[in-house]
Amino acid sequence: MVAVGKYYRSYDDSRDVNKAEFSSVPNLQEIFIPRQYKGPNQNYFADIAILVTTKTFTISQRVQPVCVDWGLNYASELSNLSSSSYGHVTGWGFTSEDANPSEELRELRLPLVTREQCSLNLPEDYEVYFTYDKFCAGYLNKSVGICKGDAGSGLMLKHNDRYYITGIVSIGVRSSTGGCDSQQYGLYTSVYKYLEEFILDKISRFKPDNTKIDQLNENCILPKHPENGQWSVINSTLLQEPGESVTSGTAINLTCDESYTLDGPTFIQCKTGKWDDTIGICLTMCPTLISTSFITFTCINNNNNNCINPTHGTIATLKCAPFYENLDLDRNPFITCQNGRWSSQIPTCVPGAQCVCNTYGEKFPAINFKVAAGKSLENFEDSRDSEAQYSDLEDIFVPREYRGYTRRYRADIAILITKTPFTITEKVQLACLDWNNKYFNEFNYLEVKGYCYHQLSTKTDPNFDTSYYTYDKLCSGYINSDKATTLIVHGNNVTRSDYPWQVAIYRTNATKKELICGGTLINQRIILTAAHCVTDDEGNKLSKELFIVAAGKYYRDFDHPADKGAQFSTLIDVSVASQYQGYLQNYLGDIAVLITENSFILSKTVEPICIDWNDKYETQFFKPETSG
Whether 48 and 140 map to the same domain: the answer is yes
Alpha carbon distance 126, 547 (integer Å): 74
Specify if 445 maps to a domain: yes
pLDDT given for residue 353 in this prediction: 44
The residue among 157, 177, 207 that closes a domain is 207
Which helix or strand (DSSP H or E) is residue 210 part of?
A: helix 210-217
CA 99 to the chain's CA centroid: 48
Triad 2, 171, 35: Cα angle to 5°: 70
312 C-beta neighbours (distance < 10 Å), count: 19
Whether 46 and 146 map to the same domain: the answer is yes
Helices (H), 3-62: none
Whether 33 and 59 map to the same domain: the answer is yes
Specify if 370 maps to a domain: no
Task: List the CATH number of the domain containing 270.
Answer: 2.10.70.10
Alpha carbon distance 528, 258 (integer Å): 37
Whether 537 and 578 map to the same domain: the answer is yes
The residue among 145, 173, 207 that closes a domain is 207
DSSP letter, residue 23: E
pLDDT given for residue 152 in this prediction: 93
Please say whether the beta carbons of 503 and 521 come within 8 A.
yes
Residues 6+ apart with CB under 8 A from 520: 501, 502, 503, 527, 528, 529, 609
Specify if 373 maps to a domain: no
206 C-beta neighbours (distance < 10 Å), count: 13
CA 476 to the chain's CA centroid: 43
Whether 78 and 107 map to the same domain: the answer is yes
Going by C-alpha positions, the residue among 560, 558, 582, 564 that lies closest to residue 508 is 558
Specify if 532 maps to a domain: yes
Task: List the CATH number of the domain containing 88.
Answer: 2.40.10.10
Side chain identity, residue 513 = K
Residues 6+ apart with CB under 8 A from 475: 452, 456, 469
Whether 589 and 507 map to the same domain: the answer is yes
Task: Report, as ranges of residue numbers, the positions in the chain whose pLDDT lies below 70.
Answer: 24-27, 204-217, 301-305, 322-327, 330, 350-362, 400-410, 439-491, 618-628
Expressed as residue numbers, the domain containing 509 is 502-596
Whether 62 and 188 map to the same domain: the answer is yes
Residues 6+ apart with CB under 8 A from 325: 349, 350, 351, 352, 353, 355
- Domain count of the chain? 5
Whether 314 and 193 map to the same domain: the answer is no
Specify if 56 maps to a domain: yes
Distances (CA, A) of 233 to 227, 242, 313: 17, 11, 30
Burial (CB < 10 A; 0-12, 13-18, 19+), residue 332, is middle
Whether 406 and 275 map to the same domain: the answer is no
Whether 427 and 551 map to the same domain: the answer is no
Specify if 88 maps to a domain: yes
Alpha carbon distance 251, 220 (integer Å): 10
DSSP letter, residue 541: B
Specify if 555 maps to a domain: yes
For the entire predicted model, the pTM comes to 0.38
Whether 277 and 407 map to the same domain: the answer is no
Alpha carbon distance 550, 598 (integer Å): 11
Alpha carbon distance 96, 495 (integer Å): 65
Whether 86 and 165 map to the same domain: the answer is yes
The residue among 426, 457, 488 that closes a domain is 457
